[in-house]
Amino acid sequence: MTPLLVANWKMHGDKDFVARFARAWRAPPGVDVVICPSWGYLDCAVSAFAGRGVRFGVQTTASEPSGAFTGENAAEMARDLGAAFAVVGHSERRQMFGETDAVVAKKFRAAGRAGLTPILCVGENRTERLAGNAEQVVRGQLDAVARAAGPDALRDAVIAYEPVWAIGTGETATPAQAQSMHAAIRGALPNGGRAARVLYGGSVKAANAARIFAEPDVDGALVGGASLDANEFAAICLAAMASPSATGA
């Protein structure tokens, strides 16, 4: 399976950053790359990477297609601006913006309605992991979307397993922890998750990427902090290209 690398630039960057990144970063062949700039720079990123085979995503969307929702941006607008993906249910949205499983499910449906591929983020916090409930929590997050959007909506989904305790902390899940959760996620998806891509997210860097990508159920990564550095992100893409699942080794 072709590995998928998603760069989540969060609320960082400006026009100059986008231009410099596009000049400095080169995508290796054999990987799919999605860049998720902040909404305001989507148009600018689409122009800066034109002809480079990169696709684009937004970090969140509204759940409605249009209307009196001051400050919101619809999935349809993202599509119009050149996005093909939408991150849904990122833990920062869940924690800081009060997005419940029900809201996440609505946004997942909104992305699909607009023709975007949702990248559904799931993951447990530290307390939940220490209590031994990690799988149950992740399963609940998947079920909430399956109930609202129908189980088939997850058949060829992109799921990002992002343990909350590993996001932006420098602490990564061990390859074994990632593999065990990815296998559980895949097993919970229709058709054994054969058509789905399950990404890992949480402090992925050039230095740890190869070990994580060596796991059989890791189909790529959602990269936050390290995706802001063109060389670091290029090295992560290279590690994915050389992974056993990409090379068929």
Residues 6-25 that bind ligand PEP (CB under 6 A): 8
Active site residue 12: no
3-class secondary structure, 205: coil
The contact pattern for ligand PEP, residues 146-165, with x = CB under 6 A and - = no contact, is ----------------x---
Binding to ligand PEP by CB under 6 A, coded x per residue (else -) over 80-109, reads: ----------x-------------------
In this structure, how many other beta carbons lie within 10 angstroms of the beta carbon of residue 193? 23
Q: Which of residues 22-61 bind ligand PEP (CB under 6 A)?
A: none
- Check 99, 124, 128, 162 and give the catalytic one: 162
Residue closer to ligand PEP by CB (options 100, 169) is 169
What is the closest distance, in whole angstroms, from the C-beta atom of residue 194 to ligand PEP in the complex? 25
182 is catalytic: no
- 110's enclosing H/E stretch is helix 101-113
Which residue number is nearest to ligand PEP in terms of Cβ?
224
What separation, in Å, do the N-terminal and C-terminal C-alpha atoms of the chain show?
A: 12
Beta carbons of 44 and 20 less than 8 angstroms apart: no
Contacting residue, 40, 65, 168, 192, with ligand PEP by CB under 6 A: 168
Of residues 196-235, those binding ligand PEP (CB under 6 A): 201-204, 222-226
Give CB contacts under 8 A, 24+ apart, made by 123-128: 123/91, 123/161, 123/162, 123/163, 123/164, 123/167, 123/201, 123/202, 124/163, 124/164, 125/91, 125/163, 125/164, 125/165, 126/164, 126/165
* Pairing state between β 117-122 and 220-223: unpaired
Q: Which residues are catalytic?
A: 90, 162
> Which positions lie near ligand PEP, rule CB under 6 A?
8, 90, 162, 167-168, 201-204, 222-226
